[in-house]
Amino acid sequence: MKAQKTSSSGRRNRSAKKVFQVCSLLLLAASIFLGLLTPLLADDPKPDPAGIATGDKSNAVDGGGTAFMVSEPTDKTAPNYAQAKKDFDDFKAQADKEPLAVKLADTVGHVRVATNAAWTLNTGYLVLFMQAGFALLTCGLVRKKNAAHLMMLNFAAYVFAFVAYWAVGYAFQFGAVAVNAAPTNLGGTPTLNHFLLGSGLWGFLGGKGFFLAGPAYDAGSNVLILFEVVFMETAGYIIVGSICERITFWSFILCELFVGGILYPVFGCWVWGGGWLSQIGTTMGMGHGYVDFAGSTVVHAIGGFCAMALSVVLGPRLGKYGKDGKPRAFPAHNIVFVVTGTFILLFGWMGFNPGSTLGATDLRISVIAINTNLAAIMGSASAMLFWYMKFGKPDISMACNGMLAGLVAITAPCAFVGPTSAVIIGILAGLVVCLGVLFNDHVTKIDDPCGAISVHGFCGVLGAICLGLFADGTYGAGWNGVGATTYLGKAGQGVTGLLYGDSSQFLTQLMGAAICAAWAFGATFVVFKIVNAVKSMRVSREAEEEGLDVPEFGMVAYPEDSLHATEA
Amino acid sequence: MKKIEAIIQPFKLDEVKNALTGIGVDGITISEVRGHGRQKGHTEVYRGAEYKVDLIPKVKLEIVAADARVAQIVQTLTDAARSGKIGDGKIFVSSMEDAIRIRNGDHGDSAL
């Protein structure tokens, strides 16, 4: 009996290995092909790996973004040519008189970029630490018999999603960022300037910087890579909370490669890489284009709806639904992990949102940090009180989910709203996550052990919509190239929501969030429905009953509690 | 020779142990156990789904003593473990055939 079991599990491993090998080979071949393609596009600005030339007098700007340097106007037919020419002549006369000042501006510009690079890197490190938070949170929420499995998924997510992002993800997402969305705070990354699909204002996929080599081997670009890869990783962890306790490790690796290489970068390119969704303000007159400041949709809803599709493909955990169709509770095995993990996530979010300015010279960071905290506490308060009133006791895991819901929902609007709106957004998110968890458990019957779909999917969409409602116009003038001089008839008017008079922004947000959910759910569902048809992504019934720790990884999380430790 | 098994409330353990040491009981073995008696537990809600908590944590004490000592030990146990509420537990007394001290092979009461 034992021999038979070993040989069948050996067969299973071998064919799983085969699927895995074929997929990785395909991915490698595709990325090498793309990598070879890029150097052929000649006539490019040179990357600056040493960082010596990144940041000069052109980066010396004041608090409002007005440049120290005035450039000579070239278009003589432009309506404001005369004024622009006069400004340039005045500047030139002054500069000729004070050459040392112009020289000093080089230093000022370099220090400005260096300040922003330091800020962006350090906030990126905070976001990196969120991995530990996710690991503790999701591990605590599952049953003891799957604790090692959960830790391994969280750990491997970082590893494999990073591999995919290194090979193709970053290039797909930011390979054309300099075309429409150059990160000027970091020196502008001028080498990332080519769309693989589309061009100009209608870009669909970036095409420079495969394997982080060539055009991406640049000091400014590497700041961006560090910050963006940890964002992508966040989407990578989110799915763990939904698919755990039943997914095989080989198929989990495929999921992570898919998220890091394709799913996340594509939508990320559309919104943050200068792609078409960010530019519909210019091309179609829709507000400031689709705006998502730090990733309610780009990161969280992508992860949340990908998790939803995977959970549908996998089906619920054994025993989750009884014969009467009623959901059964699988209580968390370590609530201490859950709360500690949530606090680590809150701490990391202080990098996630304020860091998304990509610069400390943008003093809006303080407002963002406070908004983020306000939404977090209000999300938790409303979830706690909702549960208290409905079930008589405040569920600790839902209190934590409520805090994360508030954080997810404020992530898109954090830079554009005031404190009162942040409070309202937090309260709404806390209610949405409670209703979402109950809805999934009792109505859709999509099994979501850690509430990832409700926290990240539903509240991510809520965040994008709230931006379209509550943005007060005090920040983001000229966002996505819209309204650089005036917007809604006012100079300096920034991104504005429905309640402050811009209905087109609200519609844009609705559309963008819907596209995000459809892309994340649709693409994931199609790809993994096929994978699952070729080979089941679920572990065997026996493995699931025993707990995945030993069948999948050969060890348990807490050996002192287990006979496995003493068996010879 | 008798074996006394007592299932008690976990929070009463220290009191019971001190009382037993007080009357000169040298050997006690305890284990953490779960179970229910007539008190059948209660339901809780976890993330919106109900579940039963019907196996309640208790502590089990095992004492093996010479026949003459049993009455006093049982009395001390009962007094120390009683809170007067449902769930205080039970004491079982059974006969024990023999006891052997592993170190030197002593048998019977002298091995206790």
For residues A421 and A374, the answer to whether their CB atoms sit within 8 Å is no
What is residue A491's three-state secondary structure? strand
C-alpha A81, offset from chain centre: 42
When mean pLDDT is compared across A119-123, A146-150, A212-216, A482-486, the lowest value belongs to A482-486
A545-555: average pLDDT: 93
Q: Hey, are the CB atoms on B46 and A327 less than 8 Å from each other?
A: no
In DSSP notation, chain B reads -EEEEEEE-GGGHHHHHHHHHHTT----EEEEEEE-SSS--EEEEETTEEEEE-SEEEEEEEEEE-GGGHHHHHHHHHHHH--SSTT-EEEEEEE----B-TTT--BGGGG-
Of A326, A329, A392, the CB nearest to B47: A329
Tell me what ipTM this predicted complex has: 0.75
In three state form, how does the secondary structure of A380-408 look? HHHHHHHHHHHHCCCCHHHHHHHHHHHHH
A:438-497 residues touching chain B, CB 8 A cutoff: 438, 441-442, 451
Judging contacts by C-beta atoms under 8 Å, the chain B residues touching residue A327 are 48-49
- With CB atoms and an 8 Å threshold, state whether B47 touches A391: no
Write out the two tokens for A129: 């630490």
Around Cβ A15, how many Cβ atoms within 10 Å?
A: 13
Judge whether B42 is closer than 8 Å to chain A, CB to CB. no
Q: What percent of chain A has pLDDT over 70?
A: 93
CA of A331 vs chain B CAs: smallest distance (Å): 6
Which tens digits make up the pLDDT trace of A358-388?
Answer: 999 999 999 999 999 999 999 999 999 999 9
Alpha-carbon gap: B52 to the closest alpha carbon of chain A (Å): 9
Residue A203 has pLDDT above 60, yes or no: yes
Q: What is the pLDDT of residue B97?
A: 94
Q: One-letter amino acid identity for B25?
A: V
What are residue A5's phi and psi, to 5 degrees?
-60, -45
Tokens 């005031």 -> residue: A418
Q: Do A328 and B51 touch (CB under 8 A)?
A: yes
User: What whole-number distance in Å separates Cα of residue A434 and Cα of residue A431?
Assistant: 5
Residues of B with Cβ-Cβ distance to A326 under 8 angstroms: 49
Residue A321 has pLDDT above 80, yes or no: yes
Whether chain B has a CB inside 8 Å of the CB on A329: the answer is: yes
Question: A6: pLDDT confidence band, cut at 50, 70 and 90?
Answer: very low
A397 → closest Cβ in B44, B47, B51: B47
Coil, helix or strand for A486?
A: strand
Region at A184 (left for phi over 0; alpha for psi -120 to 50; beta for the rest) = alpha
Which pTM was predicted?
0.89
β-bridge pairing B56-65 and B29-35: antiparallel
Chain A, nearest residue to B49 by Cα:
A329
Q: Is the pLDDT of residue A566 over 60?
A: no
pLDDT tens digits, one per residue of A269-299: 999 999 999 999 999 999 999 999 999 999 9
A414 in contact with B at a CB cutoff of 8 Å?
no
For residue A38, is pLDDT > 60?
Answer: no
Q: Which residues of chain B have pLDDT under 50?
A: none
pLDDT in tens, A153-192: 999 999 999 999 999 999 999 999 999 999 999 999 999 9
Substitution target in A391, A442, A444, A447 with the highest count of B β-carbons within 10 Å is A391
What is the model's pLDDT at position A37?
59
Which of A305-309, A507-511, B6-10, B105-109 shows the lowest per-residue confidence on average (mean pLDDT)? B105-109
**Which residues in chain A have Cβ-Cβ distances shorter than 8 Å to B50?**
329
| DSSP element (H, E) containing A199 | strand A195-199
Q: Smallest CA–CA separation between A402 and chain B, in Å?
A: 12
* pLDDT greater than 80 at residue A492: yes
Q: Buried b vs exposed e over A65-80: b needs ≥16 C-beta within 10 Å?
A: eeebbbeebeeeeeee
Kindly report, residue by residue over A428-464, the tens digit of the pLDDT. 999 999 999 999 999 999 999 999 999 999 999 999 9
Contacts B52 to A, Cβ<8 Å: none
Chain A contact set for B49 (CB, 8 A):
326-329, 441
For chain A, what is the mean pLDDT?
A: 92
Tokens of A478: 């000229």
- Look at residue A79 in the predicted model and tell me its pLDDT: 84
State the pLDDT at residue A403. Answer: 98
Residue with tokens 């220090």: A111
- Per-residue pLDDT at A567: 42
Rounded to the nearest angstrom, the minimum Cα separation between A255 and chain B is: 27
Residue A9 is predicted with a pLDDT of 52
> Binning pLDDT at 50, 70 and 90, where does residue A123 land?
very high
Measured distance CA(A358)–CA(A337) in Å, rounded: 31
- Is the CB of residue B41 less than 8 Å from the CB of residue B52? yes
Q: What is the pLDDT of residue A3?
A: 44
| Residues of chain A contacting B43 with CB distance shorter than 8 Å | none
For residue A15, the model assigns a pLDDT of 67
Residues of A whose CB is below 8 A from B55: none
User: Does residue A193 surpass a pLDDT of 90?
Assistant: yes
Q: What is the mean pLDDT of residues A476-490?
A: 91
Query: What is the count of residue pairs from A and B with beta carbons less than 8 Å apart?
Result: 35
Average pLDDT over residues A389-417: 96
Q: Is B11 on the interface with A (CB under 8 A)?
A: no
> What is the pLDDT at residue B40?
74
- Residues A200-226: what's their mean pLDDT? 95
